Amino acid sequence: MGKGGSLSDSVVKKIVLSYTYVAIWIFLSFTVIVYNKYILDKKMFNWPFPISLTMIHMTFCASLAFLLIRVFKVVEPVSMSRDLYISSVVPIGALYALSLWLSNSAYIYLSVSFIQMLKALMPVAVYSIGVLLKKESFKSDTMINMLSISFGVAIAAYGEARFDTWGVILQLGAVAFEATRLVMIQILLTSKGITLNPITSLYYVAPCCLVFLSVPWIFVEYPVLMESSSFHFDFVIFGTNSLCAFALNLAVFLLVGKTSALTMNVAGVVKDWLLIAFSWSVIKDTVTLINLVGYGLAFLGVAYYNHSKLQGLKAKEAQKKAAQADEEAGRLLEKREGEGNGKKNEQQN
């Protein structure tokens, strides 16, 4: 009874911890999205400078990552040559900069709810780019699933009350660059055995983002900011906003490290529905029935995609265990044959 109770307690503890990690990630992701919308929207805080906001985030995160790695020695830096940094980290940093810039810019033109609906296209973009770069194999049933997700998002876009073409282009561009970044991480870093946690990732990638973002910033936002003499930097608003962005990076590492990337995908769907509900009830964004029907179809497609990925992971794990069992059985057989031959030799002697 005691042993059974102990086992039961450990299982319950593991489940509670998993749900806690999911809740923390959903809360922080939710907070960062709503906070960014609040800062950038002209009807709220009215600071429509997405490049500047992204640069503030990157400066804060890079500085904090530097302190944690170089000063306080909390995290060990990854061994990386200059050639590897230029060939692998720099392209990823450029894609990350473009993704953040465009996604933050979309908040000026689109509602939070509609942006979440457009983000449902992420699996479509990741799979398509993976096939183009020969990282994924083309499968007709997977492509049909991708088309169903796209069809659902198209219906949601058709029913959008505040449809803005420029905002949609920005968000779709952000999805494309982010999907490319995720595939490039697999090609450029993971294939070389390099894994970066959020702190080391920010330590290496954030400075690249700052450099790439500074180019459009000088020409697009810097002249406007210089003319806006009435603006005073609010350290509380931008400080807490940057802290939330940094905490979200840590929460991603915690969630994926303690559960799985698939759990994060499922949690992302829950977060999207919460954001849509919040956008409709609190921010008072218009969410139409056609919006919900379209996103519902896309949601089913994403759910099926996640289910297929889970089945694939289970099949690979089963094959791995079967191979290990066969290898172990082969070793035992060789050992027994060796012992049998040894006894025969002893009897002959």
Binning pLDDT at 50, 70 and 90, where does residue 166 land? very high
- Whether residue 138 contacts residue 297, with contact meaning beta carbons closer than 8 Å, is answered with no
Binning pLDDT at 50, 70 and 90, where does residue 329 land? confident
Percentage, residues of the chain above pLDDT 70 = 92
Of 127, 120, 226, residue with least CA distance to 179 = 127
Lowest mean pLDDT segment, chosen from 1-10, 104-113, 165-174, 199-208 = 1-10
Classify residue 322 by burial, with Cβ atoms within 10 Å: 0-12, 13-18, 19+.
Answer: exposed
Digit-coded pLDDT (tens) for 57-70:
999 999 999 999 99
Higher pLDDT, 315 or 202: 202
The two three-digit tokens of residue 232, written as one number: 């005073």
Residue 348 has pLDDT above 90, yes or no: no
> Measured between alpha carbons, how far is 190 from 200 in angstroms, rounded to an integer?
14
Higher pLDDT, 41 or 321: 41
What DSSP assignment string belongs to 166-204?
HHHHHHHHHHHHHHHHHHHHHHHTGGGT----HHHHHHH
Helices 140-158/122-132 angle, 10° precision: 140
Instruction: Provide mean pLDDT across the span 243-271.
Output: 82
Instruction: Provide mean pLDDT across the span 231-260.
Output: 86
Backbone angles phi, psi at 151, to 5 degrees: -65, -45
> Measured between alpha carbons, how far is 73 from 203 in angstroms, rounded to an integer?
13
Higher pLDDT, 220 or 263: 220
- Whether residue 199 contacts residue 68, with contact meaning beta carbons closer than 8 Å, is answered with yes
Q: Given this model, what pLDDT does residue 311 score?
A: 83
Residue 135 has pLDDT above 60, yes or no: yes
User: Residue 254 half-sphere exposure, CB side, CA atoms within 13 Å?
Assistant: 17
Digit-coded pLDDT (tens) for 74-95:
888 888 889 999 999 999 999 9
Please state the length of the chain.
349
The two three-digit tokens of residue 103, written as one number: 């996604």
Instruction: Provide mean pLDDT across the span 154-178.
Output: 95
H or E stretch at 23: helix 2-40
The two three-digit tokens of residue 228, written as one number: 């806006």
> Measured between alpha carbons, how far is 286 from 131 in angstroms, rounded to an integer?
37
Residue 113 has pLDDT above 50, yes or no: yes
Q: Given this model, what pLDDT does residue 339 score?
A: 66
Q: Given this model, what pLDDT does residue 340 score?
A: 65
Q: Given this model, what pLDDT does residue 298 score?
A: 94
Residue 270 has pLDDT above 80, yes or no: yes
Of 38, 158, 121, 72, residue with least CA distance to 301 = 121
> Measured between alpha carbons, how far is 154 from 17 in angstroms, rounded to an integer?
37
Residue 207 has pLDDT above 90, yes or no: yes
Of 133, 61, 42, residue with least CA distance to 100 = 61
Residue 1 has pLDDT above 50, yes or no: no
Percentage, residues of the chain above pLDDT 90 = 58
Residue 319 has pLDDT above 90, yes or no: no
Backbone angles phi, psi at 237, to 5 degrees: -65, -55
In the predicted model, what is the mean pLDDT of the chain?
Answer: 88
HEC assignment per residue over 301-327: HHHHHHHHHHHHHHHHHHHHHHHHHHH
- Which range, 101-110, 221-230, 330-339, has the best average confidence (pLDDT)? 101-110
Q: Given this model, what pLDDT does residue 168 score?
A: 97
Residue 2 has pLDDT above 60, yes or no: no
Residue 4 has pLDDT above 50, yes or no: no
